[in-house]
Copies of this chain bind each other. A is one copy, B any other.
Amino acid sequence: MSRAVAGPEIERLIQLLSKLPGLGPRSARRAALHLIQKKDQLLVPLTQAMEVAVDRVVVCSRCGNVDTSDPCTICSDQRRDPHMLVVVEDVADLWALERAGVLNARYHVLGGTLSPLDGVGPDDLSIDALVERVSADAVTEVILAVNATVEGQTTAHFITDRLAGLPVKVSRLAHGVPVGGELDYLDEGTLSAAIRSRTPF
């Protein structure tokens, strides 16, 4: 027996909220109620922020980041080294690296990884644009910050081949023990990579 608790407008709000990552049907219901009960403090400002996002968010034509300006905040930042380019699979990875805050470089979002089984070939990713950018901007180092998965590594090899012949250094992220990680819980691949890449103490 499932009856409508409230009018269809509220049910629709709940149903759409439940599509957000991190919210299920039950927490979407709680979120909807929270929004409705905090109308002036939360529902109205969040609605306005989303209207702004609908109107103004664009994909950066240079790097593929999402922002309210094109070129994006990062591409327009004159203090960043224009000769170092960090290649990532998607925008979430770009944001994660920015949170770490260790880089002062620019980015290039591929839009995925090579995956023949899913029908994703080189033309579906922004690899040509990357090669062009490397030449045009006189990039001296490309850091391949792709995921440590089979698809990520395949894509990294493909990009390295495409960049061969250009005067650019290509590097990748180090493999090893995550900071705070316990050896007992790590897989053999990570452990052997950490031993191979051991550093003087």
Chain B nearest CB, measured from A25 CB (Å):
10
Instruction: Report if A51 contacts B (CB, 8 A).
Output: yes
Chain B nearest CB, measured from A54 CB (Å):
6
C-alpha spacing A36/B109, complex, angstroms:
15
Interface of A (DSSP majority class)? helix
Instruction: Report if A143 contacts B (CB, 8 A).
Output: no
C-alpha spacing A16/B68, complex, angstroms:
17
Closest B residue, CB atoms, query A17: B46
**In A21-62, which residues have CB < 8 Å from any B CB?**
21-23, 27, 29-37, 39, 42-47, 49-54, 56-57
Interface size class on chain A is: 35 or more
Instruction: Report if A173 contacts B (CB, 8 A).
Output: no
**In A95-116, which residues have CB < 8 Å from any B CB?**
95, 98-99, 101-102
> Would A13 and B49 count as touching, CB distance under 8 A?
yes
Chain B residues with CB below 8 A from A54, complex form? 39, 43-44, 47
**Which candidate, A2-10, A147-155, A159-167, A190-198, is the interface stretch facing chain B?**
A2-10
C-alpha spacing A51/B43, complex, angstroms:
9
Chain B residues with CB below 8 A from A47, complex form? 47, 50-51, 54
Instruction: Report if A172 contacts B (CB, 8 A).
Output: no
Give the contacting residue for A92; candidates B22, B33, B39; CB below 8 A: B33
Looking at A2, A19, A29, which has the most chain B CB atoms within 10 Å of its CB? A19
> Would A91 and B53 count as touching, CB distance under 8 A?
no
The 4 A-B pairs with the shortest beta carbon distances in the complex, nearest first, are A1-B101, A22-B27, A7-B68, A47-B50
